[in-house]
Each structure stands twice: as structure tokens, then as C-alpha cells.
Amino acid sequence: MSVSPLFQALWDEQGFTAMSPIQEAVYQPLKKDESILGLAPTGSGKTLAFSLPLLEKIMPGEGLQVLILAPSQELVIQTRDVIQPYAKAIDCTVQAITGKANIKRQIERLKAKPEIIVATTGRLLELSEQRKVKFHTLQAIIMDEADELLTDSGLSETRHIVQEAPADVQLGFFSATSTDSLLELETWFGVPIKTIDVRGIDQTGGEVLHAFIPTGNAQKVNVLRHLAHQKHFRGLVIFNQSAQLLKAAQTLKHQKVTYAALSGQGRQTERQKALKDFREGKIQLLLATDVAGRGLDITDLPYVINFDVPNAKITYIHRAGRTGRMGRDGTVLTLGNQHDGRNLRKLLAPEYDLVTRYLVGDHLEAEKPVAPAGLVTSAVATTSTADSMRAVTVTDQTSTPVTSVRKSKKTPVRQQAVAPLKPKHKKNRQRNQKNKGYHKKSIDG
């Protein structure tokens, strides 16, 4: 199957030669107005999978017809950017709506009556309540990263939006993982849902190494610093909590490491600049939480680094999916102590073969470094070698050493001088002598 002649020139220009399994599998069902659940690995081309067949059905100038919902503003902007050239080819417009953007500017742009809107649910509902967005002309609603979108408040907000749309609106749910929430779609939305799962046959991903680096909690940021010293290193670092991200960012700033952070409190323009700089290789580390990092498509991303062990297997799968995309190889590194390593192996078995790697200098090694004889185990222990080099071993009570090597200069040990006792003050001596003479005279008298 090939794409429509409407989009063939763009397709060829972007270097695509054939449809991926998910693109081919959902093409006809979406064109025939079927509601579907599409399951495919990360990086397999899901955005074009749902957008191209829907674009073929759009009537330019007829108002809002396709609505795409996503769980984060980064994913909204990314999806808009992917769709925009294809929409322009059929004389349609795409608008992104996110909570961090200027609402007055969004309202002004909505006056152009875009045929496609990509949005986060909260801001979209806010504009809907102000009657700035109307759903009565909608033909299709797509939920991207549906397993994340349809949780907690996201589920109720999404259902609210669907209820505002026409009763026969087409629904599409796309995800890399199948969760319990996705098994209840027909109950929640009241329409038949056809499941299309290509995860077992999709081979678009490259080879990904899954590695664990034994590291004490106090030394995790130091490991990031060493990794960043590698030439042309680029890594997406994902944190379990925003507080950990902010603390690590402060330390990296003092260590002169080039990084940017996708903070939930940051402005949209700042977050977009961070992504742009990272994609262009201007910074080495991009710090993010799961919400900010979900669904990001970064071309040829070599490393994903779990600063903390993920709380669930599904979380690990989505994090790992940021690398090894579209045939390119990648590496997923997870930091933690030996207890964390055992838990991670249990979490990932049997799907992933987790190997152990050790940081030696600024490089990862498969073999555990051997400490020289007589090395004292401590937070930082040093020893001299014959070639005037010093190995610095960083460890804690539960971690396997992470070793780096650096040159040092021998410094002679100085003995601290003992300060002499100060003589008594001269006036005090004179006063004492005078008192003694007066006391003697009194006795004699």
C-alpha cells in the first residue's frame, strides 16, 4: 500500500520508502470511519498512521473536523509540526492548544477556523466553556498516548469532550502499551472499538542495549557529569519526581555541564527552545519527568538515562521507546544501587535482557574495575600507582564502585607547627610586683 498522491511528494522528500506496519494496518479502517485502538511500538510512525487517512477526508474551509488529544504540551507541539506540511498540501490549517501558551493569542488564531486542532484537554475545555471552540462539526477525535491520557482526570476530561461532539464521531486510540484502561474503551465511550495490534510483527526499531549502572544515590549527578564528558554525547535523562530534577539541575549548573530542563513550571517558549537546542546538539543532557518526556520524537537519540528506577514496567517501556527508533540503535541506562538493580531485573524479566555496566573514567565498561590492593573503601578513597595516576572510587554502603581515573600531583604532608605560649603582659607583671611589695610592707609594719 502507498500513500495518497496528494502527499506522495512530501513522503518522498522526508525519505520514506514504504509504510510501517501500523500505518498500513489502520489506513483503510480510518478511511472507512471505523473507531479503532492502534497498538504499535514507540517510534513506528503512529502520528502519520492516524493523520494521513483522516486528512484525505477533510473538506477545506468547513471548520473543525479533526481533533487530536495528547497528554503533554511537548507532544502537542511535536504532533502539530509533523502534520502541518501535509495539511498545507491540501490547503488546511492546524492549530496547537496547550495550557502554558498565551490564551488570548490562541483565541485570536481560532478565528481562522482551523480544520485540525491538536490539544491538551484542560486548555481545550477552558476554551470550549468560553464558546471559542465548538465541536459540532467534528468528524474524528484521536487520543494519542491513550494509556497515559485516559488516567485520572484525563479520562473524565476526554469523555466530556467526546460527549460534546456529534454522536457519530469517529474515535481513534493509539498507544505503545496495552493497559487495563484500554480494555474498557467500549464501556466508557459507548461505541464498538476495533483493536489493531502490530507489536508482534513490527520490526522498525533498532537494536537497544538495556544497561544498569550500580551507583549510590549521592553520586548519580556525578555519573551524569562523566557521561556528558564523552564526545558528542546526547542523553534524555528522566526523573521520577520534579524535585529530583530541579536538584540535579542546580548541581549540573555548577559543574558546567550543558543541559536544559523540561520543567512543568516553565513557559512553552522555554520548553520549545530546550527541545530545539537538544535536537540540534547544542546541549548534552535534556532533563525531563515522565509527563514531559512522554511521546517525544528526537531523531537519532543515542541515550535514555533513568535517573531513578521506574515505578512500573509500562513506564520503562515508554522511556526506552525514546531511543532505538526507526531502525537506529540506542542505549537505555538506569542508575541505582544493587537493591534497585535486583528490583529492575524482576520488573523487566523476561522481555528485556538487562546487563551491568561500570563507569570507568568517562567510558562504560562491561567488566567491574578492580581496586588496587590496600585500597580503603570509603566515600572517596585514593591510592597511588606506579605511573603517578590516582584512581578515585565513588561508592556507598550498597553500591558497586563507579571508578574514574585522573592525574594527580603528590603533595608532601606538612606537620602543623605548635604555637609558643605568649608571655604575660608587662603591665600585669609590674602590678603583681607592686602588690607583692605592699603586702610585705604591711606585714613588717
Please indicate, yes or no, if residue 436 is contained in any of the structural domains. Answer: no
The residue from 319, 345, 363 where one domain ends is: 363
Q: Let me know: does 56 contact 130? Beta carbons within 8 Å.
A: no
Spatial CA neighbour of 47 closest among 92, 90, 94? 94
Number of domains comprising the chain: 2
Q: Are residues 123 and 260 in the same domain?
A: no
Spatial CA neighbour of 341 closest among 200, 212, 156? 212
Q: Let me know: does 123 contact 103? Beta carbons within 8 Å.
A: yes
- Contacts for 319 with CB less than 8 Å, ≥ 6 apart: 238, 290, 293, 304, 306, 310, 332
Which helix (H) or strand (E) is 125 found in, with range?
helix 121-129
- Contacts for 375 with CB less than 8 Å, ≥ 6 apart: 381, 383, 391, 393
pLDDT in tens, 308-359: 999 889 889 889 988 988 778 999 999 999 999 999 999 998 888 999 999 8
Average confidence score pLDDT of the chain: 83
Within 13 Å of residue 8, how many CA atoms lie on the same side as its CB?
Answer: 5
Q: What is the domain-level CATH number for residue 114?
A: 3.40.50.300
Q: Are residues 178 and 229 in the same domain?
A: no
Amino acid letter, 267: R
For cell 530534577, the residue is 245
pLDDT in tens, 420-439: 445 545 555 555 554 555 44
Better-scored residue on pLDDT, 301 or 267: 301
Q: Which domain holds residue 354?
A: 208-363
Please indicate, yes or no, if residue 437 is contained in any of the structural domains. Answer: no
Q: Let me know: does 355 contact 349? Beta carbons within 8 Å.
A: no
Greatest Cα pair distance in the chain: 132
**Banded model confidence at residue 378, pLDDT cuts 50, 70, 90:** very low
Please indicate, yes or no, if residue 410 is contained in any of the structural domains. Answer: no
Q: Are residues 52 and 167 in the same domain?
A: yes
**pTM here?**
0.73
Please indicate, yes or no, if residue 371 is contained in any of the structural domains. Answer: no
pLDDT of residue 184: 93
Please indicate, yes or no, if residue 13 is contained in any of the structural domains. Answer: yes
% the chain with pLDDT above 70: 82
Q: Are residues 262 and 295 in the same domain?
A: yes
Residue 245 confidence (pLDDT) above 60: yes
Which helix (H) or strand (E) is 53 found in, with range?
helix 46-55
Q: Are residues 224 and 192 in the same domain?
A: no
Spatial CA neighbour of 307 closest among 251, 255, 363? 251
Q: Are residues 148 and 290 in the same domain?
A: no
Q: Are residues 350 and 248 in the same domain?
A: yes
Please indicate, yes or no, if residue 87 is contained in any of the structural domains. Answer: yes
Please indicate, yes or no, if residue 426 is contained in any of the structural domains. Answer: no
Q: Are residues 213 and 171 in the same domain?
A: no
Q: Let me know: does 47 contact 66? Beta carbons within 8 Å.
A: no
- Contacts for 397 with CB less than 8 Å, ≥ 6 apart: none
- Contacts for 430 with CB less than 8 Å, ≥ 6 apart: none
Q: List b or e across 416-439, with b for residues whose CB sees 16 or more CB atoms inside 10 angstroms.
A: eeeeeeeeeeeeeeeeeeeeeeee
Q: What's CA 65's distance to the chain center, in Å?
A: 32
